[in-house]
Every structure is written in structure tokens, then in C-alpha cells.
Amino acid sequence: MSNNSFSSTSEIGNTTEDHLVEKNTQISLPSIVIIGAGFGGLQAARALGNAPVKVTVIDRTNHHLFQPLLYQVATAALSPADISAPVRHVLRNQKNTNVILAEVAGIDVANKHVLMHDKSLSYDYLIIATGARENYFGHDEWRSLAPGLKSIEDATTIRRKVLLSFELAEQESDPERVKELLTFIVVGAGATGVELAGAIAEISHKALAADFRHIDPKQARILLIEAGPRILPAFPEALSRKAHRELVKMGVEVQVGLAVSNIDTSGVTAAGEHIGSQTVIWTAGVQASQAGQWLGNETDRAGRVKVSEYLTIPDHPEVFVIGDTALNMQDGRPLPGVAPVAMQQGRYTAATIKQRITGKPVLPFRYHDKGSMATVGRSFAIVKLGPLQISGFPAWVTWMAVHIMYLIGFQNRLLVMMQWAWAFLTFQRRARLITHMNLFMLPVELHSKPELKDDAPPTAVDEAGDALQAQSL
């Protein structure tokens, strides 16, 4: 996900809404169900906090996640709790809002029911904000070999694989094996891939540089592979070139116009060449959630549900689809699957529902793009704000300020600011934890990874980590 700016939507005054809530306590209030507590879903829920409605938020995790900083958890700069907040805590002061920890299995649109595995819930209005997952373009067998970066579990898995690779290399006597362990491949050069590759380079060349005795972490090889002609295709070409040069300066090998044809336990094959690696990370594309299947509506190739200018589906104006799950066309082009789009759509959807309840006219949704930004390392970023294009340290300060501002919770903001300041001054990363293992068992006989999907064989890093016994965070 790109790290963009944000905007707001006007709402009915709180005083009026509080009066309406009191007035309607004895009558049946409209029931609004929100599936997903990501950027769009949470914005919608918060905007409905004082409306004369009953709100139910359903999510399969108990926390809201600030995804733009997830790569910093994956690279040991931040801890998971720094960029997440319990959904119940965020909505604790909304008396009209209920939170359910559950997984949605389907939607009965005709009867207006959300189906969960052991129960169902009726609605008058439904907001679907279920996000997206990795798209392996027909190669789902790669999922267990090249994890994506969409959840805290993904981030801690990547952190574990990266840090454990250095630990295993420290004890390896075969130079070729060391080279394979210290080769890190990121597939896909959008904002997430660029930020991740830069962060891994910083770990290798700065944070871990003096911590090992038998290997030189500075010799780690970081490859960023992109099938398209340039990195960061969503940005102007001039900014893309600057980011490219900065990555190369940091020691990242950037290879564009190179499509990956295979991933196995020993590495990646691209353009007929096999590159040995035990750590491959996938940031090459996304696939929308199963919402299209639940609704039975038309979707695009990425599974996004085609919605109207009011973010609703055909013949069902009470069903809204927003965020990464929606295909929303504007000026002949689909809106990108980024946080600012989802947040504006969430606020718009809440305002639209309130306007319908009060009988007021509804205007179509219009996304206001205030800019986009991506960071490359500890003090370099690129920022596009309308016609203004900024790069370097000033852009990095702008990027940092925006992300601090939109983190949920004062404590999270304070902790992240302190950790960024420490990392900037010392080059250190305090969250260098290898979890789900017992360090006293290194080295050990390798065992298979029990949780792998599709019977895919585990990599050596996976095997070694699991052989060290699981323990929770």
C-alpha cells in the first residue's frame, strides 16, 4: 500500500445526532453492519458513532492495523503493537456500536443477512470493506515460499526469516550456502517493495554490521525484481528515477523488466536464470477479498466488485463496497487500492447513510487526491503533492509527519516517534526478535513446517526456525 495523504467529508452536527439518538431510543433504529475494520471500515464506523443507528463491526482479527508501516515491523524497526490498536478500544466510546470477532462466510443479499460460520446477522445497510490479499497470478503454490505483507503475522514471519538467515549463515561453513542465506529477494517494486528492500539493506549494512564474528552482513545481497519498465509506476517518472538511484546507492540491486517464472525452495527463476535464496518476499500484486463471490456480482480480474458512483452494487442501494474490495471508476480510470481512497470512501458511505435516513439528497462519491509518498531508507523519500514533487530529506520529514499524524492513539504516536529518533541517531533496530523458536537448540536436525499450505516443501530457514520449537509473541 502506498502512503498517501488524507481528506475529510462533512457530517451532520453532533448535537443534532445526539438528540436524534435520544429521541429514537424507544423505536427500532436502522441496523448497519460493517465487514472489516481496516481503513475504510473503521472510518465508516467512527463517522456513524453519533448517528441514530445501530452499528455492528465484524472483523476476523481484534485489531486495526496501520498497514503503511507494516514493513517496519517486518524489518525490526517497530513492534506489532506500535502500529495496531484493538478495535474495541478504538470504538469504546460509541454507545451505538457493537464489535464482533468472527469470520464472514457469505452474504444473503436477498434477505439482508451476513452469514458467519455459526450465526447470521440482519442489516438495513451493509458496508463491505474487506481489503485485499496477495495475488500470485495463478501460482498459489508460491504463497508458502514467498510470503506477502498484509498482516502482523506476515510481518513477523518475514522478520523471523530475515534475522534467522543471518544466524544460520553465521554457523555455516559452505561459502555457497552462506551466499544463498544472505541473498534476499523482493518481487514487486511498488511502494511496499521499495520500502521493504531499502529497509533490509539498512539492516544488513548498518544495524547488523558489527554483530557477527564469522560473516560480514554488509555482504548481503538484496535484489528488487520488477516485471515492469520502472519501479514505483504510480509515481511520476522523475521521482521514480530518484528512488531508483537511492536504492542503488544503498546497495540494492534493482532489476526491472524481469518477470519471475518460478519460485521454489532454493530461490527464484527469472529470465531463465536461477537466483539462490532462502528469503523471497512477494509484493507484486493484490487480489481482492471474496466479497464478489459472496455478492454474486461482476468483478474485474483482481476480484474487485464493480460499484456505482455511489459505491453501491446494482439493484441493492443498501449494499456499499469500499476500499481495496471495490472497483470504483473516476474520470475513466479505476481508483487505486490505497489507504486515502478507503478512508474517504468510508466517511462518504457513513455520510450517505445518514443523509438517506434523514431524507436528504445524496451526491456521488468523488475522491480528492492530495498526493502520494514513499520512503527509501532512513532519510530519503519521494512525495507528490498535486503539481509539487519533492525528494530527499525534506520529503522524508513530510512522510514521517503524515504517518505519525494518522497513527491511532497518542501512545502509538509517541512510541513510534521515539523509536524513529533512536534509529535515526544510532542506526539500530530495537525489535530484532526471532520469535516462535527456542534459541538454545541451534543448530538442530531440520524438520518440516507443519503449517505450510498446498503441501509445498519448506525452505531451510523455515525448517530451522520450526525445529527450534514454537512459542507465542
**Ordered per-residue pLDDT tens for the chain, 473 residues:** 444 433 333 333 444 444 444 444 446 899 999 999 999 999 999 999 999 999 999 999 999 999 999 999 999 888 898 889 999 999 999 999 999 999 999 999 999 999 998 899 999 999 999 999 999 999 999 999 999 999 999 999 999 999 999 999 999 999 999 999 999 999 999 999 999 999 999 999 988 888 899 999 999 999 999 999 999 999 999 999 999 999 999 999 999 999 999 999 999 999 999 999 999 999 998 999 999 999 999 999 999 999 999 999 999 999 999 999 999 999 999 999 999 999 999 999 999 999 999 999 999 999 999 889 999 988 899 999 888 999 999 999 999 888 887 776 656 777 777 776 666 656 666 667 777 765 443 544 333 343 444 444 555 555 444 443 333 33
Q: Do domains 3-60+102-134+286-357 and 140-284+372-467 have the same CATH topology?
A: yes
Q: Half-sphere exposure of residue 265, counting CA atoms within 13 Å on the CB side?
A: 12
CA dist 306 and 314 (Å) reads 9
Which superfamily does 3-60+102-134+286-357 belong to? FAD/NAD(P)-binding domain (3.50.50.60)
- With cell 508458502, the residue in question is 144
User: What's the CA dihedral at 324, 328, 329, 335 to 10 degrees?
Assistant: -30
Task: Indicate yes or no: pTM above 0.95.
Answer: no
Strand-pairing partners, residue 101, are: 59
In 287-338, which residue ranges form alpha helices assigned H by DSSP?
291-295
- With cell 529497509, the residue in question is 199
CA dist 368 and 375 (Å) reads 22
CATH architecture of 140-284+372-467: 3-Layer(bba) Sandwich (3.50)
Q: Exposure of 203 by Cβ count < 10 A (0-12 exposed, 13-18 middle, 19+ buried)?
A: buried
Q: Exposure of 270 by Cβ count < 10 A (0-12 exposed, 13-18 middle, 19+ buried)?
A: buried
CA dist 413 and 101 (Å) reads 26
Secondary structure (3-state) at 351:
helix
Give how far the C-alpha of residue 206 lies from the chain's centroid of Cα atoms, to the nearest Å: 26
**Active-site residue set:** 195
Where in the chain are the domains? Answer: 3-60+102-134+286-357, 140-284+372-467
Secondary structure (3-state) at 234:
coil
Q: Which three cell numbers stand for residue 260?
A: 519471475
Secondary structure (3-state) at 342:
helix
